[in-house]
A and B are shown apart, each in its own frame.
Chain A
Amino acid sequence: MLLAVFSDIHGNRQAFEACLRVARARAAERFILLGDFVGYGADPEWVVDTAMDLVAHGAIAVRGNHDEAVNTTAENMNNEAQIAIEWTRRRLDAAQRRFLAELPMLVEDGDRLFVHAEASNPKRWHYVRSTTDAAKSLIATPSHVTFCGHIHRPALYSMSVTAKMTSFVPKTDVPVQLLRGRQWLAVLGSVGQPRDGDPSASFVLFDTLSCQITYCRVPYDIASAANKIRENGLPLWLADRLSQGR
């Protein structure tokens, strides 16, 4: 089965729509959403409604730290993120907020694990920045492939049976076979706010039969997404950074 995995959509309708279109065109059969549906972007209602609809049709979704902050507090976040969360909270209705509140922290599906942040302690919302972080995550789970997001920069780590690590920055559109003999951690780039220097939206296709993973990039209407952020009085940097991809 071909999975399409999306992470860190962050209320960016234009980016998410573009990614969904490409994923459907590439015949993705099941959608996985790795959290952070809201925060930063100016279309949280549309994004949450779309996620709810996808979940109703069989998609897997897990919770991100921004989704959690909508229903709790954003005081641990930086200033811009806090402003965006306060604004988002006012925009969402009760059903949308409940959807976010009830999202699971992680979902195991066969020998795959889906989680927003580093998996050894998902509630701590740790980033996977290095092979050391990746090793911590991989040792904590028996899964063959763990998918996570949170850091907004694509990376692919593996751990051999003798606990030797490899790290790799995946090339766009080059499928990589995730060999059975080792464990893999696929860190996704962000749909709605890429930070790896490439402003195009990022998502992943994974073929469960051949175990091939493909990192995809999708150009989208950045100007509209940025304008909507400005029109709604959100911090300007949240609009400007989209075209810079950082």
Chain B
Amino acid sequence: MSESVKERVIAIIAEQAVLDPGDITPDSTLESLGIDSLGLVEAIFAIEEAFDISVPFNANSPSESKFDISSVDAMIVAVEKLIADQRG
């Protein structure tokens, strides 16, 4: 896992949670960080802008979207994969 991707995803999530990046652990969930659906949509937008990728996500059924948001770690892995897939 590239350190920079991890750090940047954590920074984006930390900003939404209004927390210090050091307080975000890999097993944190969005719920535990107090990020609601609007915060999540905004975080995904920030991720798309930061990495120039397209994230498949429908706020209507988050659990069925292809983008795994079950934990911070899962989101980082998913972003890594999207970067690899979409940048060929």
Do A and B share a complex?
no
